[in-house]
């Protein structure tokens, strides 16, 4: 595979300068300067081990970053940004790239001054310090956290051009924390304890009502993500982990859990995080995130930049109800489907990675992925969802995404019949 004129080379030459073409031509005649010329890193010393006590990615990866969309919200303090899914692989999201959603900005909390209170329908109302929490038995679990509004801008049609923007309100990390049931059992639940109200220490005073069954099942009070302390923007020093359920419920900077016998119907479960249907009624307590997937490469921010031939298609899939044993992909807008290859750990309520390697003949593609979860649920099309819900639900859009890839390899967010 040498010295052939590629689509890329022609494109570059046509678009930019003759110099690029001349350099490439030179490489073809004599060999590759990357090989023929002595490189500085091959000759001179690099930085020592004392230069980077907490390392950052290569400067050549500086474009791999969270992005926001200014027009989405009134203000960047109660707002959201997006994980660059198109630049990532595997299933773990690096801590610094995990999308953020705040309602009153990032609370900067000294852990020595942080307290967690449990009050309400318990035998003993308790206060824990961070040091107390570190003395409970811990669990390590990998879970996705998806904002309920992920893909919400796409209900009315294709709008944002890139999976970072259409699907990037999600991250997937390993949490270390204390099972919430240990804290509740230490306080001693009264027999009429049916609901919890976790509350954040930030200025939004975030609260949600959580049924006791979920709290006693798999919720964690987590203080580590991917092995290190939570980032401030992810709730440092401690957050609630509510596996499989909408991200809003994962209360950050967790300072209090009230135990009660009825839900509270607070702002984030009445005005927000309720799903308006076409007939004017609205669903409330739509907690689980349904099975969903997206092809991350190729995608609008990650076009095909090589010639036709061997091509790797990859993406992520997840379900709030279990694992993802299978993802189907189509290259022709759903006429024909192929089972993708799942690779990496398959963990309940975690992201899964899939691949489909194919021989691209250079003709346009209409790419889609379709997740199947371990309950037998199959990811619906957007039009199937709209048939049940209309276009004003805002939240819980898990419809199948389509990318149109043209003969140049450029990808675009589209919808198809």
Partner 1 sequence: AAAQSFDLGRPATEAEVAAWDIDIRPDGMGLPEGSGDVWTGEELYVDLCASCHGDFGEARGRWPVLAGGDGTLTDDRPVKTIGSYWPYLSTVWDYVHRAMPFGQAQMLTDDEVYAITAYLLYLNYIVEDDFTLSHENFTEVRLPNEENFFLDDRAEAELAAFSDEVCMTDCKDAVEITARAAVVDVTPDDAAARERREAAAAGADAG
- List the interface residues with partner 1, window 89-128 (CB under 8 A): 103-104, 117-120, 124-128
Site string for partner 1, 267-296 (x = CB under 8 A): x--xx--x-x-xxxxxxxxxxx-x------
Q: What is the DSSP string of 195-217?
A: EEEEEESSTT--B--EEHHHHHH
**Closest to 238 (Cα-Cα) out of 168, 178, 323, 307:** 178
343 or 412: CB nearest partner 1: 412
Q: Rg of the Cα trace of the chain? A: 24
- Asked if 214 is part of the footprint of partner 1 (rule: CB under 8 A), the reply reads no
Q: For residues 232 and 334, which CB has a smaller minimum distance to partner 1 in the complex?
A: 334
Q: Considering the rule CB under 8 A, would residue 63 count as an interface residue with partner 1?
A: yes
- The least distance separating partner 1 from the CB of residue 2, rounded to whole angstroms, comes to 7
Q: Are 357 and 310 in contact (CB under 8 A)?
A: yes
Residue 194 binds to partner 1 (criterion: CB under 8 A): no
Scan residues 331-350 and list those touching partner 1 (CB under 8 A).
Answer: 332-338
CA angle (301 as vertex; 297, 307 as ends), nearest 5: 60
Instruction: In whole angstroms, give the CA distance from residue 93 to residue 292.
Output: 17
Binding to partner 1 (CB under 8 A): which residues in 139-178? 157-162, 165
Cβ neighbours of residue 324 closer than 8 Å, sequence gap 6 or more: 291, 293, 317, 318, 342, 346, 352, 371, 372, 373, 374
Element (H, E) at 84: none
Out of 214, 325, 366, 408, the only residue in the binding site for partner 1 (CB under 8 A) is: 366
Q: Segment contacting partner 1 (CB under 8 A): 93-101, 227-235, 349-357, 374-382?
A: 374-382
Question: Between residue 71 and residue 90, which ones bind partner 1 under the rule CB under 8 A?
Answer: 71, 73-75, 77-78
- Site for partner 1, residues 397 to 416, rule: CB under 8 A: 404, 412-416
Among the listed residues 240, 328, 351, 405, the single contact to partner 1 using CB under 8 A? 328
Residue 135 is a binding residue for partner 1 (CB under 8 A): yes
Q: Inter-axis angle of helices 18-30 and 7-15, to 10 degrees?
A: 140
- Does 358 help bind partner 1 (rule: CB under 8 A)? no
């Amino acid at each position: 595979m040498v010295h052939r004129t590629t689509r890329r080379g022609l494109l570059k030459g046509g678009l930019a300068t003759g110099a690029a073409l001349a350099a490439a031509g030179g490489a073809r005649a004599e060999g590759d300067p990357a090989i023929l010329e002595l490189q500085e890193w091959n000759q001179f010393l690099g930085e020592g081990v004392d230069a980077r006590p907490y390392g950052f990615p290569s400067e050549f990866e500086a474009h791999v970053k969270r992005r926001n969309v200014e027009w989405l919200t009134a203000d960047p303090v109660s707002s959201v940004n997006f994980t660059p899914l198109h630049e990532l692989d595997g299933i773990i999201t690096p801590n610094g790239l995990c999308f953020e959603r705040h309602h009153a900005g990032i609370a900067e909390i000294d852990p020595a001054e942080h307290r967690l209170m449990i009050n309400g329908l318990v035998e003993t109302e308790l206060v824990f310090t961070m040091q107390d929490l570190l003395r409970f038995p811990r669990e390590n679990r990998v879970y996705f956290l998806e904002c309920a509004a992920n893909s919400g801008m796409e209900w009315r049609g294709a709008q944002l051009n890139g999976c970072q923007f259409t699907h990037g309100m999600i991250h997937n990390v390993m949490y270390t924390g204390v099972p919430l049931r240990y804290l509740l059992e230490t306080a001693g639940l009264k027999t009429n304890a049916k609901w919890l109200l976790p509350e954040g220490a930030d200025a939004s005073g975030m609260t949600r009502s959580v049924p006791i069954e979920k709290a006693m099942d798999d919720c964690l009070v987590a203080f580590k993500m991917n092995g290190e302390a939570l980032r401030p923007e992810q709730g440092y020093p401690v957050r609630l982990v509510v596996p499989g359920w909408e991200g809003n419920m994962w209360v950050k900077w967790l300072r209090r859990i009230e135990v009660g016998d009825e839900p509270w119907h607070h702002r984030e479960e009445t005005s927000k995080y309720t799903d308006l249907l076409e007939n004017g009624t609205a669903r409330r307590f739509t907690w689980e995130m349904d099975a969903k997937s997206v092809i991350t490469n190729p995608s609008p921010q990650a076009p095909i930049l090589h010639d036709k031939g061997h091509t790797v298609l990859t993406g992520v899939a997840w379900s709030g109800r279990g694992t993802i044993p299978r993802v189907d992909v189509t290259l022709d807008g759903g006429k024909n489907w192929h089972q993708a290859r799942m690779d990496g750990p398959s963990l309940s309520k975690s992201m899964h990675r899939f691949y489909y390697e194919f021989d691209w003949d250079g003709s346009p593609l209409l790419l889609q992925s379709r997740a199947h979860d371990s309950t037998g649920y199959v990811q619906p099309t957007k039009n199937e969802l709209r048939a049940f819900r209309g276009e004003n639900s805002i939240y819980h859009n898990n419809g199948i995404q389509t990318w149109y890839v043209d003969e140049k390899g450029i990808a675009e967010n589209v919808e198809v019949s």
